[in-house]
């Protein structure tokens, strides 16, 4: 199975369309900031165009998406996994969008207590699956995926706490454009593929032909 994870589209999605025209995948996951502060109609247009390849698209909003998108991804052909979960074969996938508080007062921010309580709830719903994907917009704090150019770590304490407690197979995140990286928290691989505008995405290959030795290979690629 091949999964394409894309973050921080910010209204510019032509590169992913060009990639999908030549490279079919089995699932597409969008980890937020579909728009650059809206409007919702643009988000719906982008989600519908990405969904036109007849490949399932799972999405969460980012902190720079309008609040109205929070509960309205369903208006498109994509599936909203913010605060909820889905199971595909032996893969449990759950999501939490927006971000922890920023200095910029962006549209969709949550305090750490709410992030922890809601993210823990959805992680609990998929914990018994063989493979678990935790999809967040904000990265976990204290990793290679949440570092500003100043060197400050600005990820979410609650996202990290949930990862430490549940150890999902993968945490797919974004938000911090400058922190395109992969890191590990215990048994969890954390991936921030960087900004789509810069031409980077994450391609995840899952080989479950041997049920006792499932191989999950995430790779940040340039498109």
Q: Assess whether pLDDT exceeds 90 at residue 62.
A: yes
Residue 85 exposure: Cα atoms within 13 Å on the Cβ side: 20
Strands 188-192 and 215-222, by their bridges, are: unpaired
For a pLDDT cut of 90, what percent of the chain falls above it? Answer: 91
Question: Does pLDDT of 212 surpass 90?
Answer: no
pLDDT number for residue 74:
81
Domain that residue 143 falls in: 2-222
Q: At 136, which CATH number? A: 3.60.21.10
Buried b (16+ CB within 10 A) or exposed e, 132-160: bbbbbbbbbbebebbbeeeeebbbbbbbb
The whole-number pLDDT of residue 75 equals 84
Tokens representing 105 are: 């007062």
Task: Give the pLDDT confidence of 154-174 residue by residue, as tens digits.
Answer: 999 999 999 999 999 999 999
Q: Please give the average per-residue pLDDT across 92-99, as a whole number.
A: 98
Q: Which of 177-181, 201-205, 209-213 has the lowest mean pLDDT?
A: 209-213
> Using the 8-state DSSP alphabet, how is residue 179 labeled?
-
Full-prediction pTM beyond 0.85? yes
Asked whether residue 69 carries a pLDDT value surpassing 90, the answer given is no
Residues 6+ apart with CB under 8 A from 111: 100, 101
Helix ranges (DSSP H) in the chain:
14-22, 40-51, 112-126, 157-166
104 burial (CB, 10 Å; 0-12 / 13-18 / 19+) is exposed
Mean pLDDT of the chain: 96
pLDDT value of position 208 = 86
Q: How many domains does the chain have?
A: 1
Side-chain-side CA neighbours of 191 within 13 Å: the count stands at: 28
Q: Are 14 and 213 in contact (CB under 8 A)?
A: no
Q: For 112-121, what is the mean pLDDT? A: 98
- Rounded to whole angstroms, how far apart are CA atoms 153 and 13? 28
């Amino acid at each position: 199975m091949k999964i394409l994870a894309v973050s921080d589209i910010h209204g510019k999605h032509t590169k992913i369309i060009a990639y999908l025209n030549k490279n079919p995948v089995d699932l597409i996951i969008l980890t937020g900031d579909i728009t650059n502060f809206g409007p919702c109609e643009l988000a719906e247009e982008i989600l519908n165009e990405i969904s036109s390849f007849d490949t399932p698209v799972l999405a969460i909003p980012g902190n720079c998406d309008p609040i109205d998108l929070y509960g309205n991804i369903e208006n498109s052909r994509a599936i909203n996994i913010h605060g909820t979960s889905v199971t595909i074969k032996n893969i449990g996938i759950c999501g939490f969008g927006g971000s922890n508080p920023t200095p910029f007062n962006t549209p969709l921010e949550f305090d750490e207590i709410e992030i922890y309580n809601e993210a823990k709830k959805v992680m609990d719903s998929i914990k018994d699956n063989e493979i678990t994907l935790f999809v967040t917009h904000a990265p976990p704090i204290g990793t290679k995926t949440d570092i500003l150019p100043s060197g400050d770590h600005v990820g979410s304490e609650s996202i990290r706490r949930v990862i430490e407690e549940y150890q999902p197979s993968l945490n797919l995140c974004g938000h911090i454009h400058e922190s395109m990286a992969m890191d590990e928290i215990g048994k969890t691989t954390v991936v921030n593929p960087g900004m789509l505008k810069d031409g980077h995405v994450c391609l995840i290959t899952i080989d479950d032909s041997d049920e006792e030795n499932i191989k999950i290979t995430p790779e940040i690629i340039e498109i």
